[in-house]
Amino acid sequence: MRLLAPFALATALLVTSCSSTDGDASPAASSATSSSPAATSPEPAPAEAEESAAAALDPTAVTSPDEAALASAMRVADLPEGWDVQSNPVEDGDLSDNPSFEGLCETSFPSEARRTAKFPVVAVDETGSPQLTSESISYDGADAAAQALAELRTAFAGCESADRTFVTPPSSEGLTADSVVVQYQLSTGTPQVIVAQARGTVVSVVIGDDPDATLSAARSIAARMAQLPAAVIGA
């Protein structure tokens, strides 16, 4: 299985093409076509360890906000049959130079400074091709997670571009109470969907070209987020 670029690179399309016209690649494809060694290397032990830890973590039994975010990370059970996941652990857990949303649609995200952990995961299909990109993020307070989604709404409100047309998004039914669902169509005709949702200190984001697969994964994650102890995540 290939290593893919972090979630921040998946948003590069929106970072650059809101002011240019050369961003027709999908978020997942942008990551997959990276020429870095990481794009073709076998999956390392830290990634396998994080995947195993996330898959085994009972959301009802978490004891910290960071653990709650790990329990909310995308896992195989969230995906169509035959698909797999690939974790991209943050080296040493250092988020100082590892943005999640900063620069998206040329917008500043002050909430980035209040992140405490994040768990990027890519979903690949039966052929090993990346289909979904995701992050599960922990913040130092529920207000910071809510702030991140508010900043995301502001960013998308000003992100129209010549190579992108925003369309009516899919229903947010089955997601958390605080959620953002955006769908747009590239000039190539390719649809893209971004689903962000928050509960307490945890934010989950899923990006994909297939609206059904993207929403299905997000709803499965939402069901797990609903099981997180309110006292642990400040919900």
Distances, alpha carbon 134 to alpha carbons 167, 194, 212, 232, in Å: 21, 10, 15, 23
Taking only the tens place, the pLDDT of each residue in 207-227 is 999 999 999 999 999 999 999
Evaluate whether residue 19 is within a structural domain: no
Predicted local distance difference test score (pLDDT) of residue 44: 57
Mean pLDDT along residues 179-185: 91
Q: Where are the beta strands (DSSP E) in the chain?
A: 84-87, 115-124, 130-139, 164-167, 178-186, 191-199, 202-208
- Per the structure, how many domains does the chain have? 1
Evaluate whether residue 161 is within a structural domain: yes
Taking only the tens place, the pLDDT of each residue in 79-119 is 999 999 998 888 888 888 888 998 888 888 999 999 999 99
Predicted local distance difference test score (pLDDT) of residue 102: 87
Evaluate whether residue 173 is within a structural domain: yes
Domain boundaries, position 58? 46-232
Predicted local distance difference test score (pLDDT) of residue 190: 84
Mean pLDDT along residues 21-35: 34
Evaluate whether residue 8 is within a structural domain: no
Percent with pLDDT over 90 in the chain: 54
Evaluate whether residue 210 is within a structural domain: yes
Evaluate whether residue 4 is within a structural domain: no
Please determine, for residue 40, whether its predicted confidence score (pLDDT) is greater than 70.
no
- Residue 43 banded pLDDT, cuts 50, 70, 90: low
Q: Residue 86 maps to which CATH number?
A: 3.40.1000
Evaluate whether residue 115 is within a structural domain: yes
Evaluate whether residue 41 is within a structural domain: no
pTM of the full predicted structure?
Answer: 0.80
Predicted local distance difference test score (pLDDT) of residue 70: 95
